[in-house]
Homo-oligomer: A and B are copies of this chain.
Amino acid sequence: MIFGAIVAGGTGTRMGISDMPKQFLPLGKEKKPIIIHTLEKFLMCTELDFVYLGVHKDWVDYTHELLKKYIINNYQKKIFVVEGGTTRNLTIINMINKIEENHGESSDHILVTHDAVRPFLTLKMIENNIENARKHRVCDTVIPAIDTIIESTNHDFITTVPARKNLYQGQTPQSFYASEFKNLYNNLTPDEQNNFTDACSVFVRNNIPVKLVDGAGFNIKITTVSDYRIANSIIEGDIID
């Protein structure tokens, strides 16, 4: 089976716009929460059997309220809300555990993991992710790096300037076989578990080739006030980059 896994475990409210984590902020003229915009993209994809939402335990009830308010009853059979963990990868592990509990363990379960705060992903990105996860076991959605990136290991002087043509900005979705990810993650040292902030790093660590899938500039992650304003402009059709 194929699962959407929307990662929304954060409680960051540093934008200062409200006391809600940013994935719950209203977006566009309809004032629909960001996480609902994201969820709707997943619900458009008929290849997905179920969509899981990993949210912080304090926001599970609120998320259920949003689902009741914004998603028609028929869709609710397709959606499960799971308590998030203390890190992104632990939130994914919690979703995998719940998936195995609900639908049985299988080495064939594919997970399309995605940031709740990237509401502009396209159906095409989800489909490409599913196809490439099937074909290559694991894939990552990326765009060519725009900025000049420099590396400094001493945080004082430039160590190297890696060739920009080989650099990409990681986005999401990141997609892979659920059981494989769980095994690899559980075999990491505690240090590695803390240091790897995304799922694909876990595969790279194990020398498993991660296929690149085309993202898009507009598939932004809403983390700052300016991101939030850009997001509102995108949704109102003001920005087509």
Interface residues of A (CB under 8 A from B): 136, 140, 142, 145-153, 155-164, 166-170, 195, 197-198, 200-201, 204, 209-212, 217, 221, 223-226, 229-230, 233-234, 238-241
Contacts and interface: CB of A to CB of B under 8 A. Distances in A.
Contact of A170 (B150, B195, B201, B223): B150
B240 A225 contact: yes
A221 B148 CA distance: 11
B147 A169 contact: yes
A230 B233 CA distance: 10
A210 B156 CA distance: 9
Contacts of A195: 163
Given A148-B198, A167-B151, A212-B155, A229 B225 contact: no
Contacts of A142: 150, 152
A9 B31 CA distance: 43
A204 B149 CA distance: 13
Given A145-B149, A217-B224, A229-B233, A200 B158 contact: yes
Nearest to A159: B166
